[in-house]
Amino acid sequence: MKLQPIDISKTASAASIVFDALRKAIVEGELEEGAPLRQDEIARLFNTSRIPVREAISRLEEKGLVTSQRFKGAVVAGLDIEELREIFEYRALIEPEVIRRAVPRMTTDTLDEAKTFFHKLHTASDPVSWGDLNRAFHERLYRASGLPYHEAAIDKAMDRVDRYLRAALIRSGNVNKSNAEHLAIWQACADGDADLAADLTRNHIMQSCTGLMQNMTDQSAGPARPAP
């Protein structure tokens, strides 16, 4: 199992540490779809009992990252095209409204921090770094909205699609296009144009959805057969 062992035998928040480590490994694609989460093995890696491991897996299941299968136990959850479409359509409803609310409350510090993440996106050399910076950019802009429940819902939705999105963007070569969309969103925020920021955010989400669905369709189709 691709996890770094950590000695947490004397840590009060063992379940949270296991949860964070497993969540990170799933979102970043280190634990692939269908990978089993064996409680004994994980407990040994973290030098803890099965109790915090069981709690961590239960929390991952609540977030939709893990599912229980008969005879297999807990495994990393997959995502089909219809689920993906629904998640992106949900994001396209909620995120534009969050940024619309955020724009009038953004400070110079907010915009400067978001722009720092944006600049780092241009130099990210791998899907993990790019994905982390992508989320940090959007989250920093959304934080000004003062809508923590909405932000938590967005974070949960992103957890479900993030590992697919990172891989698809790198594979398709659309990183530069996505970064250009990020810049346009940032500029609308800097200009105080909440409606434009909302429209650009909605388009950005649905463009990502279209590209990811195409990538998933191509992968499921497999390599083209040679002509007879």
The correct CATH number of 81-221 out of 1.20.1250.20, 3.40.50.180, 1.20.120.530, 3.90.550.10 is 1.20.120.530
User: What is the rounded distance in angstroms from the CA atom of residue 24 to the CA atom of residue 12?
Assistant: 20
Domain coordinates in residue numbering, the chain: 14-76, 81-221
Q: The tokens of 217 are what?
A: 């369709």
Q: Which of 8-22, 67-81, 132-146, 166-180 has the highest mean pLDDT?
A: 132-146
What letter would DSSP give residue 63? Answer: T
Domains 14-76 and 81-221 equal at CATH topology level: no
| pLDDT band (50, 70, 90) for residue 223 | very low
Mean pLDDT computed over 99-113:
97
pLDDT of residue 78: 84
Q: Does 132 score more than 80 pLDDT?
A: yes
Per-residue confidence (pLDDT) for residue 217, from 0 to 100: 75
Rounded mean pLDDT, 118-140: 86
Mean pLDDT calculated for residue range 67-88? 88
% of the chain exceeding 90 in pLDDT: 56
Structural class in CATH, domain 14-76: mainly alpha
> What is the C-alpha R_g of the chain?
19
Residue 140's nearest CA partner among 124, 120, 162, 160 is: 120
Residue 128 has pLDDT above 80, yes or no: no
pLDDT score of 222 more than 90? no
Exposed/middle/buried for residue 169 (C-beta within 10 Å: 0-12, 13-18, 19+): buried
pLDDT at 124: 78
The pLDDT, as a whole number, for residue 224 is 41
Confidence of residue 157 (pLDDT cuts 50, 70, 90): very high
Q: How many CB atoms sit inside 10 A of residue 99's CB?
A: 25
